[in-house]
Amino acid sequence: MMELSALLGVLAIMAVAGYLHTVSGFGLGMIVMGAAGGLGVASVPVLAAVVSLVTLVNSAVALPGGWRGLGRSRVVALGVGILPSIALGVWLLEWLNTEWKSVMTLLLGILVFYGGLSIALKPRPRQQVSPTWTFAFSGVLTGLCGGLFGVPGPPVIYHCYRQPLSLETIRLLLILCFAMTSGVRTFFVALQGGLTTEVWSLALWAMPAVGLATWLGRRYPPPCSAATMRAVAMLTLMGLGISIVIGVVAG
pLDDT of residue 66: 57
The predicted pLDDT at position 163 comes to 86
Mean pLDDT of the chain: 83
Quote the percentage of the chain above a pLDDT of 90.
10
pLDDT of residue 1: 58
Given a cut of 60, whether residue 248 has pLDDT beyond it is yes
* pLDDT value of residue 67: 60
pLDDT tens-digit series, residues 162-202: 888 887 788 778 878 888 888 889 998 998 888 999 899 99
Per-residue pLDDT at 109 = 87
How confident is the model over 200-227, as a mean pLDDT?
Answer: 85
Better pLDDT: 241 or 172: 241
The predicted-structure confidence for 139-168, as pLDDT tens digits, reads as follows 898 888 888 888 877 778 888 888 888 877
**pLDDT at residue 244 above 90?**
no
The CA-CA-CA angle for residues 204, 59, 3, to 5°, reads: 25
Ordered DSSP codes for the chain: ---HHHHHHHHHHHHHHHHHHHHHS--HHHHHIIIIIHHTSS-HHHHHHHHHHHHHHHHHHH--GGGGGG-HHHHHHHHHHHHHHHHHHHHHHHHHHHH-HHHHHHHHHHHHHHHHHHHH--PPPPSSPPPHHHHHHHHHHHHHHHHHHS---HHHHHHHHTSSS-HHHHHHHHHHHHHHHHHHHHHHHHHTT---HHHHHHHHHHHHHHHHHHHHHHHS--SS-HHHHHHHHHHHHHHHHHHHHHHHHH-
Q: What is the DSSP string of 9-25?
A: HHHHHHHHHHHHHHHHS
Q: What pLDDT is stored for residue 179 in this prediction?
A: 83
Q: What digits encode the pLDDT tens for the residues 72-108?
A: 888 899 989 988 899 898 899 888 888 888 888 888 8
Q: What is 93-106 written as a DSSP string?
A: HHHHHHH-HHHHHH
- Show me where the domains of the chain are located: 4-250
Q: What angle do CA 208, 211, 213 make, to 5 degrees?
A: 110
The values of phi and psi at residue 225, to 5°, are: -75, 165
Read off the pLDDT of each residue in 202-212 and give the average, rounded to a whole number: 89
Q: Report, as an integer, the average pLDDT of 231-246.
A: 85
Q: Confidence class of residue 26 from pLDDT cuts 50, 70 and 90?
A: low
**pLDDT of amino acid 68:** 63
